[in-house]
């Protein structure tokens, strides 16, 4: 249920906005209800609250619920996060444009994004390849531009070493195209990531994982 709510939050907010806007038009324009009417006051208050929530969610932050173990041990199943949306730029609604970016994604950033094969779904992975990088994986060791990368956050739970054409443990070299990124889960043996579905377009990035806020015992900044 929590994952469904997180995945459909935008639809819920916009539905509430449309419903409250329609109620405003009906009460004020059609029924000519006075400003002192209690029902109108509730509708006004709800309308303002939804607008503020939409602005905050669109421009600043949003919440995200971890549904799987693909980012263990950094993020655990059922962790709840605050996602920083403005760091990579605010997306203009209903377009692919972003404005006022603080910085571009960096290697190691844990990012929330729309799944390229189904943008209605939201994924969270670690950014491991930047535009122009040459990447490879050999016997589970990840290489960037010919050098093995030290990855203290990564974990492996399957001792098998799967040979090509299976891309889990061995692939490349491949070059990350302009405007794209290569995403990996920290739980390397149990993550559906760029090894299987390809590069992530910049336009699908939603924000950077910022803080774990629940459960309270795991409150911390995400690294």
Per the structure block, which two tokens stand in for 91?
A: 């997306």
Residues of the chain above pLDDT 70, percent = 71
What torsion, rounded to 10 degrees, do the Cα atoms 20, 47, 207, 183 define?
Answer: -20
Out of 125, 191, 194, 208, pick the active-site residue. 125
Q: For the chain, what is the mean pLDDT? A: 83
* 29 pLDDT higher than 60: no
C-alpha span between 26 and 43 (Å, rounded): 11
Residue 194 is predicted with a pLDDT of: 98
* 142 pLDDT higher than 60: yes
70 is catalytic: yes
Tell me: domain 62-221, CATH 2.10.109.10, correct? yes
What are the domain boundaries of the chain? 2-59, 62-221
What pTM does this model have? Answer: 0.77
When mean pLDDT is compared across 36-45, 69-78, 213-222, the lowest value belongs to 36-45
* Number of CB atoms found within 10 A of residue 4's CB: 10
pLDDT digits over 67-118, tens only? 999 999 999 999 999 899 889 987 766 666 777 788 999 999 999 999 999 9
Residue 2 is predicted with a pLDDT of: 47
* 25 pLDDT higher than 90: no
191 is catalytic: no
Out of 32, 45, 68, 70, pick the active-site residue. 70
Residue with the larger pLDDT of the pair 101 and 192: 192
What mean pLDDT is predicted for residues 17-24? 59
C-alpha span between 20 and 182 (Å, rounded): 41
Ordered DSSP codes for 112-146: EEEETTEEEEEEEEEEEE-TT-EEEEETTEEEETT
> What are the CA-CA distances from residue 41 to residues 44, 53, 55, 56, 127 (Å)?
5, 18, 21, 23, 46
């Amino acid at each position: 249920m929590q994952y469904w709510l997180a995945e459909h939050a935008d639809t819920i907010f916009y539905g509430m906005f449309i419903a409250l806007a329609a109620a405003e038009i009906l009460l004020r324009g059609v029924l000519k209800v006075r400003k002192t009417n209690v029902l109108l006051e509730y509708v006004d208050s709800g309308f303002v609250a939804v607008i503020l929530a939409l602005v905050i969610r669109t421009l600043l932050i949003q919440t995200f619920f971890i549904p799987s173990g693909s980012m263990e041990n950094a993020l655990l199943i059922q962790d709840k996060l605050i996602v920083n949306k403005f760091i990579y730029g605010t997306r203009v609604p209903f377009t692919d444009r972003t404005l006022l970016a603080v910085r571009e994604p960096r290697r190691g950033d844990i990012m929330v994004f729309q799944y390229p094969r189904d943008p209605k779904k939201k994924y969270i992975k670690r950014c491991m390849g930047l535009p122009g990088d040459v990447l490879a994986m050999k016997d589970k060791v990840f290489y960037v531009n010919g050098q093995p990368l030290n990855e203290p956050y990564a974990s492996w739970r399957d001792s098998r070493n799967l040979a090509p054409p299976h891309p889990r443990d061995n692939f490349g070299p491949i070059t990350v195209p302009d405007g794209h990124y290569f995403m990996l889960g920290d739980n390397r043996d149990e993550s559906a990531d760029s090894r299987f579905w390809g590069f992530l377009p910049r336009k699908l990035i939603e924000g950077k994982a910022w803080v774990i806020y629940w459960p309270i015992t795991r409150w911390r900044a995400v690294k």
